[in-house]
């Protein structure tokens, strides 16, 4: 059965056939005798290529189509399309050959030449030959007068520098675009967070703080920058400041409340303010009754007032907002309560329920990318699938928070 790439090739082949027929018909009207033989040869080669394609021999088909098509202003778009198909099929080396062959033709216009250079840069990026791609893109930025080509080159260069983790260089390229393209502010803010982490590892906390504040200027909803700033405040012993920063996160992105809870707990406990932490948890529950917050509060009550008070609290909360994780924790509390009451072993029905909740929670992801649906256990600030920044968030609902 033909796959998507093969179907695309078939459509290209049909277009080639139509284009060849149209051009040859026009030429025959002007020079019928001189081109009759070449027209027959082209037609024969075209149908040979089409036969290869229908027999699912795409490599032979593409080579035949390339040989049929002379490179000129009429066929250059078809050559570019074939190169793209090669790259889409994971054969970027063949795409490089096609695009380099096109660049060797001196008769092409500057606009077409720049278009081919962009495609060749994409080929090199697909092959991981980043220095060659960067050279092409830098040349385009220096010499192209076409605004669209310059913008595309900047986007590709930023993508390349991001892959290379060259955060400052990526920022330098993207800086002039931020005003006209505000969507680029989010990735730029995360690059500043990456630079801040580098400075923290180098012991330059003042520079790290500067990067993080600039990240929030670019994207005031950057939860990551707020978390890192709070961690720096805790390290400096400024616990109240850390709590104040963390208190901004529900406003920035409410679904990241579970993400901030460990840092919030750490700041309060380092400040010897357990009651303040409990009050803060109740305030968070009024905004969003997430499972992580309920369990954190249950653990505080359990430690201070005992297991039965914790059972009462968690039971009441789960009646309003049921969740699988909350139920699993409540079962643990019931099992502990039975042990404390002197029972030699917990009720087998509780153990059975615990077995089922464990099985349901096993290998269940806790985070999902809001852009492409990628799931993972740990929070990642850049999605490894779609490579968008800040789109992975805790999963909300009965099976999540």
**Domain locations in the chain?**
4-163, 206-285, 289-362, 365-401
From 168, 167, 185, select the one nearest 177 (Cα to Cα).
Answer: 185
**Contact, 123 vs 92, CB < 8 A?**
yes
Q: What is the pTM of this model?
A: 0.79
What's the whole-number mean pLDDT along residues 321-346? 92
**Contact, 243 vs 269, CB < 8 A?**
no
Q: What percent of the chain has pLDDT over 90?
A: 65
Q: pLDDT tens across 194-226, in order? A: 999 999 999 999 999 999 999 999 999 999 999
Give Cα separations from 14 to 83, 212, 356 (angstroms).
17, 55, 57
**Superfamily per CATH, domain 4-163:** Tetratricopeptide repeat domain (1.25.40.10)
* The pLDDT of residue 334: 95
- In the annotated binding site, the residues are 369, 372, 383, 386
Helices and strands, counts by H and E, the chain: 20, 3
Q: What percent of the chain has pLDDT over 70?
A: 82
Q: What is the mean pLDDT of the chain?
A: 86
Residue 130 has pLDDT above 70, yes or no: yes
- In the annotated binding site for Fe cation, the residues are 369, 372, 383, 386
Give Cα separations from 273 to 68, 269, 276, 279, 369 (angstroms).
79, 6, 5, 10, 35
Residue 348 has pLDDT above 80, yes or no: yes
**Contact, 138 vs 157, CB < 8 A?**
yes
**Phi then psi dihedrals of residue 393, to 5 deg:** -140, 160
Task: Give every CB contact of residue 263 below 8 A, 6+ residues apart in sequence.
Answer: 227, 230, 231, 234, 242, 246
In CATH, what number does 206-285 get?
1.25.40.10
* The pLDDT of residue 68: 58
- Alpha-carbon torsion, ordered 325, 331, 334, 335, to 10 deg: -120
CA separation for the pair 39, 24 (Å, rounded): 6
Q: In 236-366, which residue ranges form alpha helices assigned H by DSSP? A: 239-246, 249-252, 257-270, 274-287, 291-305, 307-320, 324-340, 348-361
Q: Taking CA 259 as the corner, what is the angle to CA 256 and CA 264, rounded to the nearest 5 degrees?
A: 110
* The pLDDT of residue 65: 60
Q: pLDDT tens across 28-57, in order? A: 445 444 444 444 544 565 566 666 656 666
**Phi then psi dihedrals of residue 375, to 5 deg:** -120, 150
Do the two domains 4-163 and 206-285 of this chain adopt the same fold? Answer: yes
CA separation for the pair 75, 62 (Å, rounded): 14
Residue 166 has pLDDT above 80, yes or no: yes
Q: pLDDT tens across 306-329, in order? A: 999 999 999 999 999 999 999 999
What's the whole-number mean pLDDT along residues 178-199? 95
């Amino acid at each position: 059965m033909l796959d998507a790439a093969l179907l695309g090739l078939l459509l290209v082949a049909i277009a080639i056939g139509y284009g060849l027929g149209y051009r040859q018909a026009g030429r025959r009207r002007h020079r019928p005798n001189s081109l009759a033989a070449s027209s027959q040869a082209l037609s024969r080669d075209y149908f040979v290529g089409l036969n290869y394609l229908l027999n699912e021999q795409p490599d032979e088909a593409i080579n035949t189509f390339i040989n049929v098509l002379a490179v000129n202003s009429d066929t250059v778009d078809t050559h570019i399309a074939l190169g793209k198909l090669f790259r889409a099929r994971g054969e970027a080396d063949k795409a490089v050959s096609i695009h380099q062959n096109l660049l060797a033709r001196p008769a092409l216009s500057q606009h077409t030449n720049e278009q081919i250079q962009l495609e060749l840069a994409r080929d090199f990026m697909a092959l991981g030959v980043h220095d060659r791609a960067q050279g092409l893109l830098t040349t385009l930025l220096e010499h192209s007068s076409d605004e669209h080509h310059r913008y595309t080159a900047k986007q590709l260069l930023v993508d390349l520098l991001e892959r290379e983790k060259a955060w400052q260089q990526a920022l330098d390229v993207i800086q002039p675009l931020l005003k006209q393209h505000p969507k680029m502010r989010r990735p730029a803010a995360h690059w500043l967070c990456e630079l801040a982490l580098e400075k923290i590892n180098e012991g330059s906390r003042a520079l790290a703080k500067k990067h993080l504040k600039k990240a929030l200027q670019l994207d005031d909803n950057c939860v990551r920058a707020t978390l890192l700033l709070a961690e720096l405040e805790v390290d400096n012993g400024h616990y109240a400041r850390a709590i104040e920063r963390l208190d901004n996160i529900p406003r920035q992105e409410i679904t990241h409340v579970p993400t901030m809870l460990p840092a919030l707990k750490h700041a309060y406990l380092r400040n010897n303010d357990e009651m303040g932490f409990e009050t803060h948890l109740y305030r968070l529950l009024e905004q969003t009754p997430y499972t992580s917050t309920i369990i954190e509060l249950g653990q505080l009550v359990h430690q201070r007032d005992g297991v039965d008070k914790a059972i009462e609290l968690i039971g009441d909360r789960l009646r309003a907002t049921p969740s699988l994780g909350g139920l699993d924790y409540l079962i643990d509390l019931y099992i502990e309560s039975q042990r404390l009451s002197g029972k030699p072993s917990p009720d087998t029905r509780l153990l059975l329920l615990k077995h089922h909740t464990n099985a349901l929670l096993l290998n269940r992801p806790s985070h999902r990318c809001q852009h492409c649906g990628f799931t993972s256990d740990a929070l990642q600030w850049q999605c490894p699938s779609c490579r968008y920044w800040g789109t992975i968030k805790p999963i909300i609902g009965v099976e999540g928070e």
